[in-house]
Amino acid sequence: MTFILRSVFWLGLALFVIQPHGVDFDRSARALGTAAIETGRVAALDTLAEVRCDSFECAGARLIAQSALTQPAAILTPERDAPYPAAPLARPRL
């Protein structure tokens, strides 16, 4: 365990000292996440297109899944930047 902690410390220090300038890691991570979601969505749609249904339930489920996957990407992304409303504080107990 000490070896892992020591390695994390030195690798973090090296990244801090030798950090590449002009690289926006946040934007790169968001772009990579968006690309991964889009790739997964396309793969799921391709798989659903190959499915042959014999029953009404299967066809309905396939249509629901296809319509959910073709929605705009804004619905599929989490709302991390949305402000949270202030929660009311409970009165102190006496």
Q: What is the residue-level pLDDT of the chain in tens, covering all 94 positions? A: 889 999 999 999 988 888 777 778 788 889 999 899 889 989 988 988 888 889 999 889 888 888 888 876 555 555 566 566 677 777 888 7
- The domain limits of the chain are 27-72
pLDDT at 85: 64
What is the C-alpha to C-alpha distance for residues 29 and 5, in angstroms, rounded to an integer? 25
| Confidence (pLDDT) at 74 | 56
pLDDT of residue 31: 92
Task: Give the per-residue pLDDT at 66.
Answer: 86
d(CA 60, CA 72): 21
